[in-house]
């Protein structure tokens, strides 16, 4: 008797849960997990130009990709962007957040200015920067009396892309830093005042350790974003063999997938970027426990 009763209510609940979860699960599988598995399969298969698998290829795609002469530069560019962008963004946003931590009379004005870049889309930012840094008619060369080629010279193109990606990331990361700083309990800050702890000591030994979970979070999300950079290359540089000065793994993937329909190559590049990102993330998580302070 008891068991029978139990299963009835359980069944009713389960039917409801099923209906509630079905849509999101369906889309998650169809447009995240299925394509992800398909990418893995494509990487190990012969794929024709229509995207149809024509048999097992073993490591052929990998060997072909890694031995291409534009692969190593693309990898190097990707890593350079991550290596420069991530620490730079952290320093800039942390400094801005520390500067504006205290609420002052006009703080909402500059807070808004610091966060505004987050509302600007990728393509809009790219177009603005392309115009602003234009060697001939751009404002930057004119104002600083420079003669740099910026995006149009292979020496400075990657550097220009980094400026652009840092700028795009400032708004959101600043906002996270600021709310973390303001979330520090007031009593802690008052204690440092009473104890007469100097400003630099307070910043480095109290505030930064206390917001380290946020810093770590920003570090990780930025890392992933940087590893996936492709838009500035596609929008500003255009995807062609000549634009190899800034090619990244993902822009190369885009080019091979949509310009040359080489789906095996595209899959290997996607997977490579993904695995590298995952590896970095896991490494960060392993150091996290030693470095990051979580409240008890």
Partner 1 sequence: MKRKKKDFLFDTLVTLIASFLGIIIIFPLIYCFLSSFKTPSEFLNPKLLPSSFLYLDNFKNALERGNLLRYTLNSFIIAFIGTVVRMVLSILAAYAFTFYDFKGKNFFFFLILGTMMIPGDVLLVTNYLTVSKLHLLNTYLGVMIVSFVSASQMFMLRQRFKTIPKDMREASSMDGYGDLWFILKVLLPLSKPVVTTLFVQSFINLWNAYLWPLIVTASSPEMRTVMVGITRLNSWEDENYQLVMAGVCISLIPSIILFIIMRRNMKKGGLDGSLVG
Partner 2 sequence: MASITLKNVTKVYTSSQSVGGGLFRKNKEKKKDVVAVKDFSMEIKDKEFVVLLGPSGCGKSTTLRMIAGLEEIDRGELYIDDVLMNDTESKDRDVAMVFQNYALYPHMSVFDNMAFAIRKRIPDKKEVDRKVREAAGILGISEYLDRKPRELSGGQRQRVAIGRAIVRNPKVMLMDEPLSNLDAKLRNQMRSELLKLRKRIDATFVYVTHDQTEAMTLGDRVVVMKDGEVMQIGKPDEIYSNPASLFVATFIGNPQMNVIPVSAYRKSEGFYINLFGKELALGVEYSSTLSKRNESFIPLMLGIRPEYITLDDGGGLFEGEVMISEHTGNSIIVHMNVDGTEIVALEEERNRREINYTQDSILHFSFSLSDVYLFDAVSGLNITYGVGNGQ
Residues 272-291 close enough to bind partner 2 by CB under 8 A? 282, 285
C-alpha span between 43 and 37 (Å, rounded) = 10
CB under 8 A: which stretch of 7-15, 37-45, 122-130, 271-279 binds partner 2?
7-15
* 172-211 positions binding partner 1, by CB under 8 A: none
Q: State the minimum distance, in angstroms, from the CB of residue 266 to partner 1.
A: 5
What's the Cα-to-Cα distance from 183 to each of 62, 79, 96, 178, 210, rounded to whole Å?
A: 48, 33, 16, 8, 10
Distance of CA 71 to the CA centre of its chain: 21
Confirm or reject binding of residue 285 to partner 1 (CB under 8 A): no
Q: What are phi and psi of 293, to 5 degrees?
A: -100, 115
Confirm or reject binding of residue 100 to partner 1 (CB under 8 A): yes
First to last CA, the chain: 47
Give the pair of three-digit tokens for residue 117. Answer: 């870049």
* Binds 5: which of partner 2, partner 1, none (CB < 5-8 Å by kind): partner 2
Q: Which is nearer to partner 2, 5 or 137 (CB)?
A: 5
Q: Across the strands, what pairs with 56?
A: 45
Q: State the minimum distance, in angstroms, from the CB of residue 156 to partner 1.
A: 17
Confirm or reject binding of residue 127 to partner 1 (CB under 8 A): yes
Confirm or reject binding of residue 8 to partner 1 (CB under 8 A): no
* 241-280 positions binding partner 1, by CB under 8 A: 250, 253-254, 257-258, 263, 266-267, 270-271, 273-274, 277-278
* 27-46 positions binding partner 1, by CB under 8 A: 27-28, 30-36, 38-39, 42
Q: State the minimum distance, in angstroms, from the CB of residue 284 to partner 2.
A: 11
C-alpha span between 65 and 249 (Å, rounded) = 11
Confirm or reject binding of residue 5 to partner 2 (CB under 8 A): yes
Q: State the minimum distance, in angstroms, from the CB of residue 5 to partner 1.
A: 17
Q: Rg (Cα) of the chain, in Å, rounded?
A: 25
Q: What are phi and psi of 53, to 5 degrees?
A: -75, 125
Helix (H, G, I), strand (E, B) or coil at 133: coil
Q: Which is nearer to partner 1, 164 or 215 (CB)?
A: 164
| Burial of 155 (C-beta count, 10 Å sphere; 0-12/13-18/19+) | exposed
Q: State the minimum distance, in angstroms, from the CB of residue 174 to partner 1.
A: 9
Closest CA to 100 of 169, 28, 174: 174
Which residues are at the interface with partner 2 (CB under 8 A)?
Answer: 1-2, 5-6, 8-10, 12, 282, 285
């Amino acid at each position: 008797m008891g068991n029978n009763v139990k299963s009835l209510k359980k069944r009713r609940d389960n039917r409801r849960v099923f209906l509630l979860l079905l849509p999101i699960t369906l889309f998650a599988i169809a447009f995240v997990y299925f394509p992800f598995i398909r990418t893995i399969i494509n990487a190990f298969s012969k794929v024709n130009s229509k995207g149809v698998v024509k048999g097992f290829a073993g490591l052929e795609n990998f060997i072909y990709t890694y031995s291409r002469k534009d692969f190593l530069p693309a990898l190097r560019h990707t890593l350079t962007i991550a290596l420069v962008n991530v620490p730079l963004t952290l320093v800039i946003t942390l400094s801005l957040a520390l500067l504006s931590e205290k609420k002052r009379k006009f703080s909402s004005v500059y807070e808004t200015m610091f966060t505004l870049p987050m509302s600007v889309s990728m393509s809009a930012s790219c177009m603005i920067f392309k115009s602003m840094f234009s060697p001939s008619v751009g404002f930057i060369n004119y104002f600083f009396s420079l003669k740099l080629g910026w995006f149009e010279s292979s020496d400075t193109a990657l550097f220009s892309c980094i400026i652009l990606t840092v700028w795009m990331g400032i708004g959101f990361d600043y906002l996270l830093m600021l709310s973390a700083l303001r979330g520090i309990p007031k009593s802690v800050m008052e204690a440092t005042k009473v104890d007469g702890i100097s400003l630099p000591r307070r910043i480095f030994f109290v505030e930064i350790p206390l917001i380290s979970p946020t810093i770590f979070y920003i570090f990780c999300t930025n890392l992933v974003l940087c590893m996936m950079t492709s838009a500035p290359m596609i929008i500003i540089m255009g995807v062609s063999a000549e634009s190899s000065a800034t090619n990244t793994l993902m822009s190369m993937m885009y080019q091979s997938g949509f310009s040359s329909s080489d789906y095996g190559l595209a899959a290997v590049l996607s997977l490579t970027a993904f695995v590298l990102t995952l590896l970095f993330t896991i490494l960060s998580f392993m150091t996290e426990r030693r470095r990051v302070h979580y409240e008890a």
